[in-house]
Chains A and B, each alone.
Chain A
Amino acid sequence: MYKKNLAILLATVLLASCASKPPECVSPQTRNLDSAIGAAQTALINGCHAHFDRYYDDLLSIAEGDPGPENKRSFSEFLVWSSDKGLLSKRQAQDYYNRYFNVKFMSLKGDYNNCSQTCPNKRKVLLDMERELSDKERGLLRVSLDNEGYYRADQLYQEVELVLEATCTACAAGR
């Protein structure tokens, strides 16, 4: 009877320790992007989804080591997979992709007109764009070797800065 109780107690303790043990969530160890994406997917699906940002950053660093236009597709497929598995919403997946791999600025999302929404927050909008531009430098230039895309994004940033300065001055003037 005593032995049986001990066995049950031991089993309970073991089970409890297994249940509470958090997943290790180690970064991908390989330098190959496809293998790293595979490793990240395995980790994310096994309880590491809270570390999505870190895994995405790790994958970008690995891709910087072997840059090429085909990397865009790998990241896109990884994000679509993440969305399909419910790790990200569709909008989050779009934001992750476009922030790094598209010329357009996600910082310029907004439903209200420029005079009422953008102009009062012009400095913040431009600061957000500047940060996004540095992510685009990483995604477009260093990961995908898309020089033209990056330079277009840089030019777009400058154009938005100029046009917003003029538009906001005009909105404020009200002559």
Chain B
Amino acid sequence: MRNAPQRSRAIVSRPLSKRSLYIAGSALLVAACALILNAAAYANTPTIRLFPTTVVEDLKQTGNVARDMETGLQEVIGRLDQQQQLYNESKCDGADNDPGCQRLARQIGATYLDMLTIMEERLPDMEHTVNNTRNSLEKGLRNELGKKMTPWTLQETLIGTSASAAETRSAPTLRGRSGMRLSERFNQYYQLVATSGAKGDQSLAVLASDIYLDMEETSLLIQRTRQEIARATLMEQLNQSFGIITPEMIEVVGGVKSILFGNADDLPAVSGPPPGAIEQAYRSPLEQ
């Protein structure tokens, strides 16, 4: 009888362990099924490779080069602004024969030449990194979206099979970034690309397209600017002997300022559409 409780425990414990085993087995089975289903779903999701690590690095590098150029130009442009202000306050506009005004104009011209020199020094680096980024993105876009996709699959990638309304609203909308510092723009690109792993393919395709088109445009502008710098430098060297300020000079400085440091007034103020209020639960059997 002394052994009775032990036996009864043993009797009770035997079916319990069987049940535990059964539960554990079921849990494992469910987990395995979930894993297989997950893996299958993942395998069915087309993954597009638009941002290899080289692109991320190139964007970072371009941002650094742009920041260096801004730092170098900021001081020169500040000086140019002060000289311009002094020139205007001294009522030199139209007083070309005044020796004081001629001296001021020469000083402005010399500062302008400094600005052109800094740009000439920095632009090749900038051009190199911008072109690298553009070429990598170009290859990705051509292969992944151009050659591997039909228009229908491209549409399905953009729409995203499971994109919720909230995700859609948070998708990047980047076009029209004037009013932003060049380095900040590249920094924003870098941040977007570096954190894009969690986002769907749909936003990656839009992001890659946006950056690529911007790089293409930037590359062309740098190329043209470099050609123009040589001409503008020669012109200014000639002007130095006469001590005059050309309207072109003022225009170029204004352009450089707006490209590099942005202009807050140019920021687009377009509001998004109001969110739909009606839940659409109905799905037609005809829907594709």
A162 proximity list for chain B (CB < 8 A): 175, 206, 209-210, 213
In chain B, what residue has the closest Cβ to A153?
B159
- Tell me which of A9-17, A42-50, A52-60, A72-80 binds B: A72-80
State the CA gap A89–B89 with chains docked (Å). Answer: 80
Task: List chain A positions with a Cβ less than 8 A from chain B.
Answer: 69-70, 72-73, 76, 79-80, 93-94, 97-98, 101-106, 108-115, 117-119, 125, 144-152, 154-156, 159-160, 162-171, 173-175
Q: SS class of chain B's interface: helix, strand, loop or mixed?
A: helix
Residue B197 at the A interface, CB < 8 A? no
Q: Are A163 and B206 in contact (CB under 8 A)?
A: yes
State the CA gap A98–B168 with chains docked (Å). Answer: 21
Q: Are B278 and A98 in contact (CB under 8 A)?
A: no
Q: Are A159 and B158 in contact (CB under 8 A)?
A: yes
- Tell me which of B34-42, B56-64, B147-155 binds A: B147-155
In chain A, what residue has the closest Cβ to B213?
A166
Residue B138 at the A interface, CB < 8 A? yes
- For this complex, into which size category does the number of interface residues on chain B fall? 35 or more
State the CA gap A4–B152 with chains docked (Å). Answer: 69
Q: Are A76 and B276 in contact (CB under 8 A)?
A: no
A174 proximity list for chain B (CB < 8 A): 142
B253 proximity list for chain A (CB < 8 A): none
State the CA gap A160–B135 with chains docked (Å). Answer: 21
> Given A105-B155, A154-B273, A162-B210: A79 and B286 within 8 A (CB)?
yes
Q: A80-B285, A171-B146 are in contact. List 8 more A-B contacts (CB 8 A).
A: A113-B150, A114-B154, A118-B151, A146-B276, A162-B210, A166-B209, A167-B146, A167-B154
